[in-house]
């Protein structure tokens, strides 16, 4: 691959697509050329990259000829249709949807954890679920030190994980409540303002949602840990940006707070913010627009053997999506030519 690849962004006008453009620029990714792709209704718009306007083109089957790397963030249906076409044209796809995550032929990658898996790609590499990625940024260093058996977790997921319409719905509902007006809803089945919804994604026959099972299924693949178990409740909260997760983890080996902090200290992409006596702990308000995830509220679990509780927060548009995709692209440039 060229050291200055031709990069395409599919879904360039969406929230994650916009973050991908900004992340490529901020990290000084050496793109020799950038092509922006989206639906026909977005074609003709112009977005800036490195100070220059770039027109948005309509996504078509032949859009990937001459493209080296394509970052996809346009939904599973688009990915299933166009990612194989792109790969057939010699393009390497980094896909942000769930379409290929559990495909045995497709690496599922968090670069801080399993960057080596990228070398086995056959044209498509998957980005994990945003909540999974943020959780594993904190869990994996502990797993390396103590060997995780299982976790019990609850997520606190921002409305931006649903998209731009959900952000607008929260803003509108807050204004309606303040003004004493009837609350209207379009995106969520219930009011999200001043409320929490224990419902993210569709329900399965087990009573879990698809989102909740991603933590276990994707975690097993990313950590190369087939016996990992995760019981998760995913909750949508009235926060605009950044997800948080409360985790109780049980390990094979005894764990102490000092040993846990030693395992976490210096972990790439992770900052320890843990001084409760000064009210210092990770919060979505302060991790929004940051590359690093943050971990805090570390304590020994009083209900599990070899257990540790922690709270982790991260920007799901960045580490949970755009940043992780760009990091994968950076790793692709490091592969032997």
Structure token digits, residue 52: 């220059």
> Which residues partner with 98 through β-bridges?
none
Residue 256, helix vs strand vs coil: coil
Which DSSP category does 321 fall into? I
Annotated catalytic residue 130: yes
* Active-site residue (options: 6, 121, 143, 243): 243
Strands of 132-257, DSSP E = 148-157, 229-236, 243-251
Q: Is there a contact between 296 and 310 (Cβ–Cβ < 8 Å)? A: yes
Chain Cα centroid distance, residue 17: 13
* Active-site residue (options: 91, 130, 234, 293): 130
Whole-angstrom distance, CA of residue 228 vs CA of residue 78: 31
Whole-angstrom distance, CA of residue 298 vs CA of residue 55: 47
What would you report as the CA-atom Rg of the chain, rounded to the nearest whole angstrom? 20
Q: Which helix (H) or strand (E) holds 112?
A: helix 111-114
Catalytic residues: 130, 243
């Amino acid at each position: 691959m060229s050291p200055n690849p031709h990069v395409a962004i599919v879904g360039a006008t969406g929230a994650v697509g916009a973050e991908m453009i900004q992340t490529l620029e901020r990290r000084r990714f050496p793109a020799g050329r950038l092509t922006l792709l989206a639906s026909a209704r977005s074609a003709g718009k112009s977005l800036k990259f490195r100070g220059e306007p770039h027109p948005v083109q309509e996504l078509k089957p032949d859009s990937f000829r001459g493209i080296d790397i394509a970052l996809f963030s346009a939904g599973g249906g688009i990915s299933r249709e166009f990612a194989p076409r792109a790969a057939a044209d010699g393009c390497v796809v980094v896909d942000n949807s769930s379409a290929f995550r559990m495909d045995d032929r497709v690496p599922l990658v968090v670069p801080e954890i399993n960057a080596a898996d990228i070398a086995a790609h056959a044209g498509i590499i998957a980005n994990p679920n945003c909540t999974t990625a943020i959780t594993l940024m904190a869990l994996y260093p502990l797993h390396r030190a103590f060997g995780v058996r299982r976790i019990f977790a609850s997520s606190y997921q921002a409305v931006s994980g649903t998209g731009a319409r959900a952000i607008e719905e929260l803003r509108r509902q807050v204004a309606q409540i303040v003004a004493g007006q009837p609350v209207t809803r379009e995106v969520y089945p219930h009011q999200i303002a001043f409320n929490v919804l224990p419902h993210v994604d569709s329900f399965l026959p087990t009573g879990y949602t698809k989102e909740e099972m991603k933590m276990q299924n994707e975690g097993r693949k990313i950590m190369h840990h087939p016996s990992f178990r995760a019981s998760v409740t995913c909750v949508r909260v009235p926060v605009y940006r950044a997800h948080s997760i409360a985790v109780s983890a049980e390990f094979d080996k005894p764990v102490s707070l000092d040993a846990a902090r030693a395992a976490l200290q210096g972990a790439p992409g992770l900052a320890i913010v843990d001084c409760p006596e000064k009210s210092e702990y990770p919060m979505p308000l302060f991790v929004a627009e940051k590359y690093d995830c943050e971990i805090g509220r570390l304590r020994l679990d009083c209900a599990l053997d070899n257990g540790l509780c922690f709270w982790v927060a991260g920007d799901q548009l960045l580490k949970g999506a755009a940043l992780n995709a760009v990091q994968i692209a950076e790793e692709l440039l490091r592969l032997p030519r």
